Structure 1
Amino acid sequence: MSDRRRQTRTEDVMAAIRAQAAARQLAPGERLPSIRRCAAAMRVSPSTVVEAYDRLAAEGLIRARPGSGFYLTGHGLPPLSLARPAVPRAVDPFWVSRQSLDAEADMLKPGCGWLPAGWMPEAALRRGLRALARGSDAVLADYGSTRGSLPLRRLLLGRFGEEGLHLSPEQLLLTNSGTQAVDLICRFLLQPGDTVLVDDPCYFNFRALLRVHRLRLLSVPRTASGPDLAAFEAVVAAERPRLYITNSALHNPTGASLSPQAAYRVLGIAAAHDMTIVEDDIFADFEPEPSPRLAVLDGLERVIRVGSFSKTLSASVRCGYVAARPDWIEGLVDLQIATSFGGPSPLAAGLVADILASGGYRKHMEEIRRRLAQARRAVAPRLEGLGITPWLMPRGGFYLWCRLPEGADPVRLSHLALAEGVVLAPGNVFSVAQTAGDFMRFNVAQMGEPRVYAVLERALRALRQG
């Protein structure tokens, strides 16, 4: 072998190790493959691997432990970034999140993803907090247990049982939020570079979180009854995604719910191609009558259910959950210890448990469903009067996924509205394929102020006038 050819092979091995380290496929402190295994995998001679490892050790990226092998040091690695795609800031999920979360008190937020504070059960929350303050010192001062509050888990298991999903306490883990639940699942099941499938459109923070994990995102068009099944089957067969993340009930942002036929087909396709499904059930309690659930039909064989109470009780009381196979829950418990040292705050879990056990939660949700139905009936015609047309009328929830008038650019519309103190959510924030450029998501619960419609009217007129 010529010196130049050997040099090139050595550089190839070094580049491969650097790439795995940068993508976090090798973690700092992790042992590298043995010289023989690396040589076989790279189809080079052992001496080439020895030279590559020696040179990487000289750079400080790896170090040798006599009699043990070579280990990654992490020295010189780039920081783990969010790997944002190059898109306009107004169609970046972080832009919408920041504008909504950091909005001043007088700003209007029809683009945000939560109910107004005045719609939440303020009296029940205050009563629960007073009761906790009079309770055990441990609730006020200690860490949460690794699986989270047993009383709350039992209440959740009872609620699941009403749906026909009968689980043991070992199949349920409480988390700090629904977002943390998805984050733990990604850490547990996936490696950087793995393929994940989402709906198009989908909840924009799915996109943001999955990019943090350096995963390859694919999307499938969402219809009124579920994913486009022909496209779903084709992409799953061709790309073999490890995970599919979806909302079955009152899908975010479209408001659509899964049909029985689509649910069975999705589960059949997932089983045929060994794909796991994460079913985010955060909007379940907004449905007037339950629609099909993949977790119930599957019995948690390959479906993982996640959820939280941020939308129904309080976004300030951070408490979510994961329901899955017992062996997966065991792994997720360890990950939660490693990343946050225990389950959710005993204060948060105790407060949620108190409200669920009191019976007031059901009455609260009945009132919320009634108010949302009124809001949808009031908001839809006012938007239609501006030429903004709902894609469908949802059975429940607070989202309307709307098509804008022809030629109305949602990005420019968002900037014009923001200048007048109104935060909007343009469609491509929700689209991996960037195919929702003429859509926008509206939160009907945040549209009681007439100023919202006046700002929209002025902004649309400005767009028409160029």
Structure 2
Amino acid sequence: MSLAETTRTAEVMDAIRRRVTSRTLAPGDRLPSIRGFASAMRVSPSTVVEAYDRLAAEGLIRSRRGSGFYVVGGAAPLTLAEVGPKLDRAVDPLWVSRQSLDAGPETLKPGCGWLPADWMPMTELRRSIRALARADDATLADYGGARGSAALRRLLARRMADQGVEAAPDQIILTASGTHAIDLVCRFLLRPGDTVLVDDPCYFNFLALLRAHQVEIVGAPFTPNGPDLAAFGKVLAERRPRLYLTNSGLHNPTGASLSPHVAHRVLSLAAAHDVVIVEDDIFADFEPEPSPRLAALDGLCRVIRIGSFSKTLSASVRCGHIAARADWIEGLIDLQVATGFGAASPAATELIAGALGDGGYRRHVEALRRRLSLAMRDVDAKLARLGFAPWTEPRAGVFLWRRLPDGLDAAAVATAALAEGVVLAPGDVFSVSRTASSFMRFNVAQCGDPRVYDVLARAMART
């Protein structure tokens, strides 16, 4: 057997191993036919026969005369690090998230996705906590209802209406967090092996979460106005994804906003190809004037809206929400009961409703927008002095998406900075295609310490 044939055989074996590891193929499942898999892998049938014979010798599969090959043995535990492509730690979404989550108070985190504690409305939160202490016993001790607090859902319905999204309170369910909301939607609509479309680049935890659902992830290039429409349409036609998962308000990581023209075309293409859109609108309150929302334009027909208050109120008091068409809500509620036995805790929802219920939160958000605008200009100028180039100028929000100078590799710079106690977010952690190696995402609210730029300069000089 030639070297090329050996390599192709190994590729076929690896493809089968990945399907078994990710549980796309479970014990007892029949493997694809030899001719069908040869066509899919673009190899000869003899190469697939050789690969199957070797896997059978390893004990991973076995042959049944006249029937084909089947997976044997018990299912291995699902290890997300083994699902999908092997990634360098510096660009692995799970690893990058853990660096920020586990960082001590001495660590600087310009690569994380949330605001520092001293940017949050601590006076309003403490007032709500004092009020919560006077709540009835059931609020403090019992499970919440399956949909979550009716009072908070009514409040959310009014807030969504202000953003152009018409959703009755019964079309909204509360969840343990925004991430939990997306997880529930994935459980509701996806099966292992389905295809999901994301922006390239996209929020890196989308990629980690989708790994857990054992789906195929494909990307469409993202532009300052939204997804590249030609590439978006081509992916829909060729890959037939079940979902499109996106931020359309203030995009993570780029900070871009969806233009009206692109928003209408995205909805038209999604309708033509029967694709459900999950719109994560977690940064909505950072915008002084709402940019186009797919959920508003679509009327929650094929768009599901996700949100939470972890970015503007508290990441410690977890509560997310889902707004969806009425005939999907019951199924989502049943899934939430099965996986979490109820919605977000009554204590958390009471606290959030209290913080949102007066003018304090509105004044906090207005001040926050002004503070972020000043920080964005300041950080942009400091990054420019280090040679970073803009990709787009966000109209609001938290993030700057910037290109490193001189062809520097962002992952190498991030690795060097981590050794000095600074957590950065290199571009390829956000990119399905790994084509953002020269970019970094910066959280302007986390860039106030001058040490960020000193460490960044040294890391760039060493790589």
TM-score range (shorter-chain normalised) is 0.7 to 0.9
Aligned: 1:122 with 2:122 = yes
Give distance in 2, aligned partners of 1:218 and 1:388.
28
- Indicate the residue corresponding to 1:40 in structure 2: none
Q: Tell whether the 8 Å contact from 1:198 to 1:219 is kept in structure 2 after alignment.
A: yes
User: Following superposition of structure 1 onto structure 2, how do residues 182-261 of structure 1 map, counting pairs within 5 Å?
Assistant: 182-261=182-261
- Cα distance in 2, alignment partners of residues 454 and 340 from structure 1: 45
Partners of 1:22 and 1:119 in 2: CA distance:
40
Deviation per residue, 1:103-126 (Å, 9 max, x gap): 111111000000000000011111
More displaced 10-residue stretch of structure 1: 212-221 or 357-366 = 357-366
Secondary structure, counterpart of 2:357 in structure 1: helix
| Residue of structure 1 equivalent to 2:74 | 76
- 1:380 alignment partner in structure 2: 380
1:77 partner amino acid = A
Q: Once the 2 structures are TM-superposed, how far is the Cα of residue 391 of structure 1 from its aligned partner?
A: 1.1
Partner of 1:462: 462
Q: Is the 8 A contact 2:387 2:404 kept in 1?
A: yes
Q: Summarize the alignment of residues 8-407 of structure 1 with structure 2, pairs less than 5 Å apart.
A: 23=23, 76-82=74-80, 83-407=83-407
Q: Percentage identity across aligned positions?
A: 63
| Alpha-carbon separation, structure 1, partners of 2:115 and 2:84 | 28
Partner residue, 2:412:
412
What SS does the aligned partner of 2:79 have?
coil
User: Does the 8 Å CA contact 2:241/2:275 hold for their aligned counterparts?
Assistant: yes
**1:294-328 CA deviation, whole Å, 9 max, x = no partner?**
00000000000001111010000100000001121
CA deviation digits over 1:120-168, x for unaligned, max 9? 0011111101101111111110111100000000000011122332222
Deviation at residue 80 of structure 1 after TM alignment? 2.3
Name stretches of at least 5 consecutive residues in structure 2 with no aligned partner.
1-15, 31-58, 60-71
Runs (4+) off by over 3 Å? 19-22, 24-28
List runs of 5+ in structure 1 lacking aligned partners: 1-15, 34-58, 60-73
Distance in 1 (CA, whole Å) between partners of 2:89 and 2:164 is 44
Does the 8 A contact of 1:25 with 1:191 survive in 2? Answer: no
How far has the Cα of 1:399 moved from its partner?
A: 0.4
Instruction: Mark the CA change 1:139 to 1:27 in structure 2 (over 3 Å): closer, same or farther.
Output: farther
Decide whether the 8 Å contact of 1:112 with 1:423 is kept in 2: yes
Give the deviation of 1:420 after TM superposition: 1.1
- Aligned 8 A contact 2:218 2:432 in 1: yes
For 1:437 and 1:170, how far apart are their aligned partners in 2? Answer: 44
Aligned to 1:430: 430
The Cα shift of 1:271 comes to 0.3
Task: Write out per-residue CA displacement over residues 195-254 of structure 1, whole angstroms, 9 at most, x where no aligned residue.
Answer: 000000000000000011100000000000000001001110111100000001110000
CA distance in structure 1 between the aligned counterparts of 2:166 and 2:409, rounded to whole angstroms: 48
CA distance in 2, matches of 1:25, 1:299: 38
SS in 2 for 1:191: coil
Instruction: Return the alpha-carbon distance in structure 1 between the equivalents of residues 428 and 141 of structure 2.
Output: 44
State whether residues 22 and 78 of structure 1, in contact with CA within 8 Å, keep that contact through their aligned partners in structure 2.
no
Q: Which has the larger radius of gyration?
A: 1
- What one-letter code is carried by the residue in structure 2 that aligns with 1:164? G
Residue 444 (1) aligns with residue 429 (2):
no
CA distance in 1, matches of 2:340, 2:389: 44
Instruction: Deviation per CA, 1:410-460: give whole Å up to 9, x if none.
Output: 111111111111110000000000000100001110111111111111111
Task: Please state whether the residue corresponding to 1:306 is helix, strand or coil.
Answer: strand
Q: AA paired with 1:220?
A: A
TM-score (norm 2): 0.85
Question: 2:49 — aligned with what?
Answer: none
Match of 2:3 in 1: none
Tell me the CA shift for residue 21 of structure 1: 11
Counterpart amino acid of 1:76?
A: G
Q: Distance in 2 between matches of 1:462 and 1:261?
A: 44
- Measure, in 2, the Cα distance between the counterparts of 1:189 and 1:374: 41
**Equivalent in the alignment of 1:56:** none
Q: CA deviation at 1:407?
A: 2.6
For residues 113 and 302 of structure 2, the distance between their equivalents in structure 1, rounded to whole angstroms, comes to 28
Shift of 1:20: 8.6
- Counterpart residue identity of residue 342, structure 1: G
CA distance in 2, matches of 1:27, 1:329: 33
TM-aligned CA distance change 1:184 to 1:26, over 3 Å? farther
Q: Which amino acid aligns with 1:283?
A: F
CA distance in structure 2 between the aligned counterparts of 1:388 and 1:399, rounded to whole angstroms: 14
* Counterpart contact for 2:26–2:75, Cα < 8 Å: no
CA contact (8 A) 1:25 1:192 kept: no
Q: Which amino acid letter does the alignment assign opposite residue 254 of structure 1?
A: T
Alpha-carbon distance in structure 2 between the residues aligned to 1:200 and 1:306: 20
Q: CA deviation at 1:27?
A: 11
Q: CA deviation at 1:408?
A: 1.2
Mapped partners of 2:269, 2:194: distance in 1: 19
> How far, CA to CA, are the matches of 2:79 and 2:103 in structure 1?
25
Q: Is the 8 A contact 1:243 1:276 kept in 2?
A: yes
Q: Distance in 1 between matches of 2:305 and 2:320?
A: 11
Q: For residue 420 of structure 2, what is the amino acid of its counterpart?
A: E
| Distance change >3 Å, CA 287–CA 22, structure 1 → 2 | closer
When structure 1 is superposed on structure 2, of 387-396 and 303-312 the one drifting more is 387-396
After superposition, the Cα gap between the structure-2 partners of 1:384 and 1:308, relative to the gap in structure 1 and judged at 3 Å, is same
